[in-house]
Amino acid sequence: MKKLFNLLNNKKMSKKVPNREKNFNSLSGNKLKEYYSSDKKSDKYNIDPGTFPYTRGIHKNMYRGKLWTMRQFSGFSTPEKTNERYKYLLNNGQTGLSVAYDMPTLMGYDPDHELSSGEVGVCGVNVASLDDMETLFEGIDLEKISVSQTINGPAIILFAFYVALAKKNGIDISSLRGTLQNDAVKEYIAQKEFIFPPKPSIKLVVDVIEFCSENMPLYSPVSISGYHIREAGSTAAQELAFTLNSGFTYIEAALERGLKIDDFAPRLSFFFNSHMDFFEEIGKYRAARRIWAHKLKNEYGAKSENSLKLKFHTQTAGCSLTAQQPENNIVRTAYEAMSAVLGGTNSLHTNSLDETLALPSEKAAKIALRTQQILAHETGVPNVADPLGGSWYVEEITDRIEDEANEYFKAIKNLGGTVIAIEDGYFQKKIGESASIYQESIDSNERIIVGLNDFVDKDEKLEIEILKISQEAQDIQEEKIKRLREKRNNALLNKKMKKLRNACENNLNLVPCLVEVAEHGGTVGEIVELMKSVYGEWEESFGI
């Protein structure tokens, strides 16, 4: 398997992606180059796309070779309902799937747990067992569709369900493509959907990295996420610094495990926010690629070109959307999507206009997808790689954000590293300060948000369709899990659960055991409770 990985990593992936069979001329018929650069060799910004340190993009021809993956984040109610939505989006031109799980699944509770009451299927799809995972992807060819899963605390469990599903369907798991968010550190910094303490959580992330490096060379075992850090109120530089720092934390843990940098680094991916400050966001993405390339090469000794190329998914900023005049959110999303593409994103989700009010309706989800398609096929933006490269303004922003990020790296190191910084509340304090400053600028009208604190419609009436999740979703999922517990072989499952406990206690890779537990009917809640009994639970205590 490692021979296959190295072949993909060092040969196939390093070749130039051929241009798509499209017309890349301007609307007026002018022939455009793949990219533009300075004639002055002394110009420090005179670097070509696809060239180290990849500030201008990881491929010379960028979107001429391959458009970004249009991966709309979606999931609601039951696996059956979400399966219908996935097929609807795929039939309308979506090119990848991205699973949104509900709060019980994210926190590791089964649908019949008392804390799940009223939350099943509300903010995403409920998945509690391999049976649910099978229903979620019924009729969808997992060998052809790249699937992203946005889950962190119990990510290794849902990953095991996915692997078990592929095996059940006779799919060679080495052919699976997709991404598991699996970013434990981000949860302590921003989103707060943590379960276990930081150290065992980082260990679980490395378990998936190790398993994928040995068995699934096309799969990204972690999507290191800045999105929720930005949503919590960070600045662009903080988002970038704290996210890349999480990536370096996983690298160091994987190297300590004994993994080789070029065996896993090419499959590490990132997930960034695209906010409303158009040019700052572009500079952020460019700085991210440059920092990553230098760190991987100079500090971690990566030799493979593909290890040095930072790949990332982008989602437009949910926190920029307003409940007031929600149609304005279509415009906000379009601008944010364009900055992500100008910054060289590899994958993109565009938010729907109604997401401040509810989960996206079918119509709103289609508008969001059409926004990407118009950007891809009508604007001409993808015709040239890094068209803003060489702009004095954009280059200055790129340099500034890189410098700010490096200062944060120093501060984290001086504190004693990522885990100690989490325990001391460093990240949370910095984000809180930035969020407060931003909110004060809105409250004082120093910063205008159209429809919110200026250009307000006093007699506004909400006239858009809202998706509502009924109690039926909870009833269905509770009945399913009841039937599962009745039909499965509990004696055999208990043996698999004991094997899993032994793996937890002896610091073994949990993925193989979790796959077996999934195959024998183990549920998310049952597995998490066992793991809690070994690893413990995490509660924030700083400042108390």
Confidence band, pLDDT 50/70/90 cuts, at residue 15: low
Residue labelled with tokens 């109604």: 354
Cα dihedral 182, 188, 189, 190 sign: positive
What order of strands is seen across the sheet that includes strand 178-180? 73-74, 97-100, 147-150, 178-180, 219-220
Instruction: Determine the distance from the C-alpha atom of residue 544 to the mean position of all C-alpha atoms in its chain, rounded to a whole number.
Output: 32
For the cut 80, the answer to whether the pLDDT of residue 72 exceeds it is no
> Cα separation of 462 and 460, whole Å?
7
Of 261, 258, 345, which is closest to residue 306 (Cα–Cα)?
Answer: 261
pLDDT tens digits, one per residue of 136-151: 999 999 999 999 999 9
For the cut 80, the answer to whether the pLDDT of residue 73 exceeds it is no
Q: What's the start-to-end Cα distance of the chain, in Å?
A: 49
For the cut 60, the answer to whether the pLDDT of residue 11 exceeds it is no
Helix or strand or coil: residue 361? coil
> Cα separation of 46 and 287, whole Å?
15
For the cut 60, the answer to whether the pLDDT of residue 1 exceeds it is no
Instruction: Determine the distance from the C-alpha atom of residue 202 to the mean position of all C-alpha atoms in its chain, rounded to a whole number.
Output: 17
The region of weakest confidence among 64-73, 253-262, 423-432 is 64-73
pLDDT tens digits, one per residue of 388-407: 999 999 999 999 999 999 99
What is the pLDDT, as a whole number, of residue 464? Answer: 81
pLDDT tens digits, one per residue of 415-446: 999 999 999 999 999 999 999 999 999 999 99
For the cut 50, the answer to whether the pLDDT of residue 13 exceeds it is no
For the cut 70, the answer to whether the pLDDT of residue 4 exceeds it is no
> Cα separation of 99 and 76, whole Å?
9
Confidence band, pLDDT 50/70/90 cuts, at residue 542: low
Instruction: For the beta carbon of residue 256, count every other beta carbon within 10 angstroms.
Output: 9
The pLDDT mean for the chain works out to: 94
Instruction: For the beta carbon of residue 544, count every other beta carbon within 10 angstroms.
Output: 5
Going from N- to C-terminal start, the domains of the chain cover: 2-20+48-443
H-helix or E-strand spanning residue 18: none
What is the pLDDT, as a whole number, of residue 10? Answer: 46
Please say whether the beta carbons of 366 and 332 come within 8 A.
no
pTM score: 0.93
Give the single-character DSSP code of 265: G
Q: Which fold has domain 2-20+48-443?
A: TIM Barrel (3.20.20)
The region of weakest confidence among 4-8, 340-344, 452-456 is 4-8
Instruction: Determine the distance from the C-alpha atom of residue 115 to the mean position of all C-alpha atoms in its chain, rounded to a whole number.
Output: 26
Structure tokens given for 238: 């903080």
For the cut 90, the answer to whether the pLDDT of residue 460 exceeds it is no
